[in-house]
Chains A and B, each alone.
Chain A
Amino acid sequence: DIQMTQSPSTLSASVGDRVTITCRASQSISSWLAWYQQKPGKAPKLLIYKASSLESGVPSSFSGSGSGTEFTLTITSLQPDDFATYYCQQCDSYPYTFGQGTKLEIK
C-alpha cells in the first residue's frame, strides 16, 4: 500500500493567515492526489483533484501543488469557515489511501 503522511498533524493559525499543509507519498503517485476538507459530523468535501485542479465552487484561496511524492495544500487569507480537518488521498493505485489528517485550529 502507498503510505500518505501529512504534516503537521495540528496547525494553529489566525484569520487572515496563509497556511500550508504538506502530504508525502511513500512512492511516486504522479499527480494523482486529492485534498478534502472535513468538518465535525460532516462528510469530506473535495477541494483539489489531480494535485492542483480546483473543484468547482471551492474558493480560489485554496490551491494545491506538487507531483511525485511531495504535495502541498495552501490556503491564503484564512477565513473562519476554513477551520476544519484536511486530508490528502492518493488515487494512483489500489488500495486508495488517505493521510492521517491535519486539524487546522484557531489560534
Chain B
Amino acid sequence: QVQLQESGPGLVKPSGTLSLTCVVSGGSISSSNWWTWVRQPPGKGLEWIGEIYHSGSTNYNPSLKSRVTISVDKSKNQFSLKLSSVTAADTAVYYCARGEEYSSSSWVYWGQGTLVTVSS
C-alpha cells in the first residue's frame, strides 16, 4: 500500500520560499505515475498545483507557474515542492498525492496534509 507523508516548515515569512517534501513508502517514485501537489486554503476548496514524473517532466498550474518548482529525488524516494515569493494567500494545507494507472489523473493516495502559514 502506497503511503505519502508531507514534511516541511509550518511557518514561512512573506516573500520567502515555501519548501515541502513528500516521502513515498510502499512504492517506488520511479513507478509509472505522476506525483502531484494539491493545496487547500483554510475553509476553502482544492487547487491543483502541479505534478512530476520520475523522469523529471513537470506540469504546473499556470496561476502558480512562475513561482513553483517541483522536483524528484529518486535516491530518497521522495519529491518536493518549492513555492517562492509567498504571501498570505499561499496559506493552506498542502497535500501530496498519486493516482493509479486505472484512475488516470485522479488521485487514489494522499498524504495527511501539512498546514503552511505565511506570516511574519
Contact = CB atoms under 8 A, between A and B. Distances in A.
A50 B104 contact: yes
A87 B106 contact: no
A36 B48 CA distance: 14
A34 B102 CA distance: 12
- Of the four ranges (under 10, 10 to 19, 20 to 34, 35 or more), the interface on chain A belongs to 20 to 34
Interface residues of B, number: 23
Interface stretch (B9-17, B77-85, B108-116): B108-116
Identify whether the interface residues of A are mostly helix, strand, loop, or mixed.
loop
A100 B106 contact: no
Contact of A43 (B62, B63, B95, B104): B95
Interface string B82-118: 0000000000000101000011111110111100000
Interface of B: 38, 45-48, 59-63, 95, 97, 102-108, 110-113
